[in-house]
Amino acid sequence: MQGKWERTLYGERGLIMTLSIVKIATDPHEQMNGRALIQVSAETGDNCIVLYPGTNGTYTAAEAKEVFMNFGPEDWVIQQNEISQGGGIMRAAAERGLSVIFNPAPLTQGILDEFPFEKVTILVVNEHEGEDLYRELGGKKNLKGLDLASELLNHFRSTHGIVLTLGGEGVVAKFRHQDKLRDFIVPSKKVDVKDTTAAGDTFVGYFLSTFLREQKLDYFTRVQYSLEEATVASSIAIQREGSMISVPTLSEVQQVRMTEQETR
């Protein structure tokens, strides 16, 4: 986790960051911290987010290089499209040999010029982002689901996997490993949706953490297990209001998975 925060907002409130490297703006008169204005539908729980970059828009690739000096080929970086110099940060990560899992949200016009997609190890998009990215690539067909994931994987030849989240329909994915291709379909359990704000972040975080934790499994089994755990985690998150506070603990996720397996 790497960001810029004002000391007046976080440091003085006793925020303790573990497993993180944090840059804190020490001058309270510096540019305001970034803000996200989140609108949530009372009927569906779907959300619309308006971003104000603030200090998130002042980040530089040089700062990223400094951070990445602490990491190497066994490490991963999770990236979105919410801070400045995203493409430079991705290049800096690749130079150090880090693997990159990229969720290009928000998917802005010209994103293919900003980010070196050839450096992306795993690409995670929702169905709308996937369709928009396909059109950015010049695609003309009306592709959905696995067809869309396959087309994106065919285009991004150095990418190992495309994960396409489908909201209440679950997730589909296509991965390649050692010259083999595998399709994945993971349905989502129907739940009472209250707030989808943290669904994507929860999914990506749980997918990668599970993928790294379960390295004793063979590659494709590990992908399947990670997709299943991430899908359960995000389904729990959307039943709660809020963003960070809605993310479930690992024990909660595993308990739900155990219960589901017992009732099959």
Q: What CATH number should be reported for the domain holding residue 103?
A: 3.40.1190.20
- Number of structural domains (the chain) is 1
pTM over 0.85: no
Answer whether residue 20 is part of any domain. no
Answer whether residue 92 is part of any domain. yes
Query: 5, 24 in Cβ contact below 8 A?
Result: yes
Mean pLDDT of 194-202: 88
Answer whether residue 134 is part of any domain. yes
Output the pLDDT for position 29.
52
Output the pLDDT for position 131.
96
Answer whether residue 2 is part of any domain. no
Answer whether residue 54 is part of any domain. no
Domain range for 82 = 59-262
Query: 157, 174 in Cβ contact below 8 A?
Result: no
Residue linked to tokens 């016009």: 109
43 vs 220, residue with greater confidence: 220
Q: Read off the pLDDT of residues 118-165 as tens digits, 9 standing for 90 and up.
A: 999 999 999 999 999 999 999 999 999 999 999 999 999 999 999 999
Output the pLDDT for position 17.
47
- Residue 82 is inside which H or E element, if any? none
98 vs 49, residue with greater confidence: 98
Give yes or no for residue 8 having a pLDDT over 60: no
